[in-house]
Chain A
Amino acid sequence: MSNGSLGWRDIKPGAVVTEPGSAAAYKTGDWRSLRPIWDHTRCVKCGMCELFCPEGCVFQNDEGYFEADLSYCKGCGICARECWTGAITMVEEEE
């Protein structure tokens, strides 16, 4: 059901929201105009990019490298700015 079609009968008492973390359904990735790219030759897998991500959308993949979940990444570039080995660059999103 899309949010716009909720009727008053669909509202729980007190308009309480009982599904934790349900806002994850809202993808903020389309806010982005820049995208982070990791250079694995420079990455030391320290995880500073993960820690400094305001979205909490940087994660460690099976190989131990970090990447951003692009469905949420807003492209702020803090990860690139704070990466002390310079492993991350921000590139323009193409249309």
Chain B
Amino acid sequence: MAKRTPLEVSVAVAEAAKMADVDVVAAYPITPQTHIVETLAEMVANGELNANYIPVESEHSAMSACLGSSATGARTFTSSAGQGLELMHETLYIGPSSRLPMVMSVCNRALSGPLSVWGDHSDAMAVRDTGWIQVFVENGQQAFDHILWAFRVSEDHQVLFPVMVHHDGFHLTHVIEPITLPEQEEVDRFLPKPRYPYALHPDNPVSMGCYAPPFIYSEIKRAQDEAFRSPEVKQSILKAWEDFGNIFGRYYMPVEAYRTEGAKVLLVTMGSFSETAMVAVDNKRDEGKDVGIIRLRLWRPFPYEEVRDLVKDADIVLVLDRCISPGAQAPVYSEIRSCLYQEENRPQVFSFTGGLGGRDIVVDDFEQMIDKGFEMLQNGSEKEFEIIGVRE
């Protein structure tokens, strides 16, 4: 029987990696990720997890060690955040290009400068184009669930791409939530251990990471991108969610709609703030406003069809970004807007940026955003974006 236990979300993430029976963890401590790797190190020290824990000297080496480990076919896990993810940056491209499966939990954190250990999505957006499968989760249970899901997807021979599970630093990592922990037998049923087909071993010598002259680089990158956006990868992602639901009773989708029926105004959010936004939507629905919310879970490969399908009847779409793109449009907004551009009856899309460096966005803020949406519906808007919750 699955049991419901109060757990710090970081501990739950470590618990998921343990239940996935990872072989190698290579990690470097960084706030707000520390509790995850501390817990894993403790599990290894106590013999509860049969894994090699590599306490590397930097995040660059953390991801590098993960690449080496994954290349031998070992089930590989790491976790990082903010500056750590940035220090990894060049190493992040190698996993997808060499098709090395592994899972990284990213505890989203703002980027220096100025230094901030608190949460926003700047780190996630900076690694947007590295070629990892990326999902955002909204609460502790989803964080736990998606570590298991990520291993299943990543190691699927139809996929073989590394997976990042983004969860908000502090807002998720450091809170205690009731988490339903499954039985090991259920996890084993959900998560087979397919042997990596090109594992480095003398019995079958392969060369991995050969260099590509101009005559072949484009073909190699196209092959990678075609695989990444292939129906097979999409099906594997969806099937893993479906099987997960059938075994554990919690079902997930690339994009999740909440109270979108007949909605004229739609909020689009990613990550833990979605739950706050849902409360605001409830309040406004109580006031008789036709408002709903779309929570983007799958960030890469981007779910174009699902997004188009969900927003097609709305008039106003309000996108919340937790990241600034200096001198340009905010990243999620830009993605949503370009996704809708070809539609005949495309809604007006408005950009809100907020929640930077650990700043809260409370229910009242979301209600104000929704009010602005309805005002736009009435009177239109000269502006296209607004930074919220910042003092003049």
Contacts and interface: CB of A to CB of B under 8 A. Distances in A.
Interface stretch (A8-16, A33-41, A63-71, A76-84): A8-16
A17 B226 CA distance: 19
B208 interface: yes
A41 B230 CA distance: 67
Given A8-B223, A14-B198, A15-B98, A3 B216 contact: yes
Contacts of B160: 13-14
Contacts of B218: 8
Contacts of B220: 8, 11, 15
Contacts of B216: 3, 6
B99 interface: yes
Contacts, number: 52
B222 to A, nearest CB: 4
Contacts of A18: 198, 204, 206
A15 B223 contact: yes
Contacts of B198: 13-14, 16, 18
B340 interface: no
Nearest to B216: A6
A16 B208 contact: yes
B1 interface: no
Contact of B97 (A4, A6, A9, A14): A14
A18 to B, nearest CB: 5
A1 to B, nearest CB: 12
B207 A17 contact: yes
B205 interface: yes
A3 B215 contact: yes
B227 interface: yes
9 contacts: A3-B215, A4-B215, A6-B216, A8-B220, A8-B222, A8-B226, A15-B212, A17-B207, A20-B207
Sorted nearest first, the 9 A-B pairs with minimum C-beta distance are A14-B99, A11-B223, A8-B222, A17-B207, A8-B219, A14-B98, A8-B223, A13-B99, A20-B205
